[in-house]
Amino acid sequence: MKAVVLLSGGLDSATILAMAMEQGFTCYTLSFNYGQRHAAELNAAKKVADAMKVAVHKTIDLDLTQIGGSALTDKNIAVPQSSSAGIPITYVPARNTIFLSYALAWAEVLGISDIFIGVNAVDYSGYPDCRPEYIAAFENTARLATKAGVEGKPFRIHTPLIQMSKAEIIRKGTELGVDFSLTVSCYQADAQGHACGVCDSCRFRKEGFVNAGIPDPTIYI
């Protein structure tokens, strides 16, 4: 039983990898070098994949800076230090659709039907492509898009974190032995993976450790 797991190097995806392994899946992890500011997360993804002994870890280069339109992919847009109403400027247009498309391609080539993605609709910042209705729509598209789907082998997009709070995710990961000190969540971490402590992603992570009652291993700048 095999699964493709999208691994960003953050806390959430490290936890879904552990959950997929707990369910008995042999895991093929996929990261993207998409021109993000925080390249430290790619090193973190590699470290997590190594530590958790995945079958294959692949990093795909795709240059979303050619598209732009987000604080994460355009150096001219600043990362905000506090939440604002609505969908934040760190939203990367169609990012999860692009990521899931690659996961789908790789899964089909490997003959795999299960894909795990660490989206979260609760604590998260209101990204539209983290909602259950979006995931269901993509699953339907995947079925119709592929040779495997046509041949009656649909794809399942697993989102075990989708309704969990950050504290619940941290408790679950801790229970499964995830080493969160390897992970990087910060939108603007330095080369060593040290976190800014003030961006949305840092604030959710910090609060999560506090609410979980688990010591925060993050090193802040």
Chain residues that interact with a copy of itself, rule: CB under 8 A? 58, 60-64, 66-69, 87, 91-98, 101-102, 104-106, 108-109, 128-129, 131, 133-134, 137-138, 140-147, 149-150
Nearest to a copy of itself of 60, 214 (CB atom): 60
CB of 105 to a copy of itself, least distance (A): 4
Nearest to a copy of itself of 143, 203 (CB atom): 143
Tokens of 1: 């039983």
Place of tokens 């979303």: 64
Return the closest-CA partner of residue 179 out of 212, 123, 218. Answer: 218
CB of 9 to a copy of itself, least distance (A): 18
CB of 164 to a copy of itself, least distance (A): 21
Asked if 174 and 14 count as a contact pair (C-beta separation under 8 A), the reply is no
Nearest to a copy of itself of 51, 94 (CB atom): 94
Phi, psi dihedral angles at 65 (to 5 degrees): -65, -25
* Strand arrangement, sheet containing 26-33: 26-33, 2-6, 114-116, 156-158
In the chain, the amino acid numbered 2 is: K
Nearest to a copy of itself of 122, 150 (CB atom): 150
110 by Cβ neighbours in 10 Å (0-12 / 13-18 / 19+) ranks as middle
Nearest to a copy of itself of 31, 188 (CB atom): 31
CB of 140 to a copy of itself, least distance (A): 5
